[in-house]
Amino acid sequence: MSNDKVGAELKIGIVGAGQMGGGIAQVAATSGFSVVLADISLDAAQKGLAAIQKRLDSQVSRGKLQADDAAAISQRISAVGELEQLADCQLVIEAASERVDLKLELFRKLDGICHEDAILASNTSSISITTIAAVTRRPQQVIGMHFFNPVPAMKLVEVIGGLATSDDTFSKVIALAEQLGKSPVKCQDKAGFVVNRILLPMLNEACFVLEEGVASAKDIDTAMTLGCAHPMGPLTLADFIGLDTCLAIMEVLHRDLGDDKYRPAPLLRKYVAAGWLGKKSGRGFFSYE
């Protein structure tokens, strides 16, 4: 990997074949890179690959993509069920669930599997890159690459360096993000980085406003879409993100920044405890059943 440009011969590993990991894999393959998509099992990885194929087929049917190009993108992605099959990847992006214990365990394993020159990146939305890097023998080559959902459509990538992340690693990852057609923003390793540090407290405050009976969920969202020109209301956005994810990020902000203005709204905790996680569970602040 050169500092100025990342060659198309680069093989990129993705850990986690869900919505985020699958989206990253699709974007990387569309940009001409060879991608290895790994998950907890081969079946899970293949389901992720099938979801990518479905999105590509939709683009073809809408005239947004040629069938030959869609086939070429699919052929650049291989699904695997074992981390060991990422051994020859020069860059691995972890896109697993937002759990500290899981991410630390994955990075310990990847550090032992991947070549010593490989860069290990995390798609974490809130967890400290310094903490993740500390469990490896290559902290200078550990970095955050926070993509946004849906990955194929969203242009932003937050690139986050830990305490030991080298300038060389930064330059290579920023160059890669640009080759993926993204606009990278360089961030310090502070809780929530840029977007979630600003966005999640707003969503959390909307929960407080609802809980206090200031307005209904529908009217809160209408007020913010019409009054602030937001594309969707904060409660709808929270449902799309996943209320469990929103709660997890608010807990990180509250713990790491030590300010009660970041305390999660009790109503948010209650919804998560009830299993009302938003769109993915069929019910959150709104019903999706």
**Whether residue 82 lies in the annotated active site:** no
Full 3-state SS string of the chain: CCCCCCCCCCEEEEECCCHHHHHHHHHHHHCCCEEEEECCCHHHHHHHHHHHHHHHHHHHHCCCCCHHHHHHHHHCEEEECCHHHHCCCCEEEECCCCCHHHHHHHHHHHHHHCCCCCEEEECCCCCCHHHHHCCCCCHHHEEEEEECCCCCCCCEEEEEECCCCCHHHHHHHHHHHHHCCCEEEEECCCCCCCHHHHHHHHHHHHHHHHHCCCCCHHHHHHHHHHHHCCCCCHHHHHHHHCHHHHHHHHHHHHHHHCCHHHCCCHHHHHHHHCCCCEHHHCECCCECC
- Using CA atoms, how far apart are residues 188 and 218, in angstroms rounded to an integer? 36
2 counts as catalytic: no
Catalytic residue chosen out of the listed positions 31, 98, 123, 158: 158
Out of 31, 126, 128, 196, pick the active-site residue: 196
Measured between alpha carbons, how far is residue 99 from residues 4, 206, 261 in Å?
Answer: 34, 25, 23
Exactly one of 123, 126, 128, 146 is catalytic; name it: 146
Residue 196 annotated in active site = yes
Which member of 31, 122, 123, 125 is catalytic? Answer: 125
Positions annotated as catalytic residues are 125, 146, 158, 196
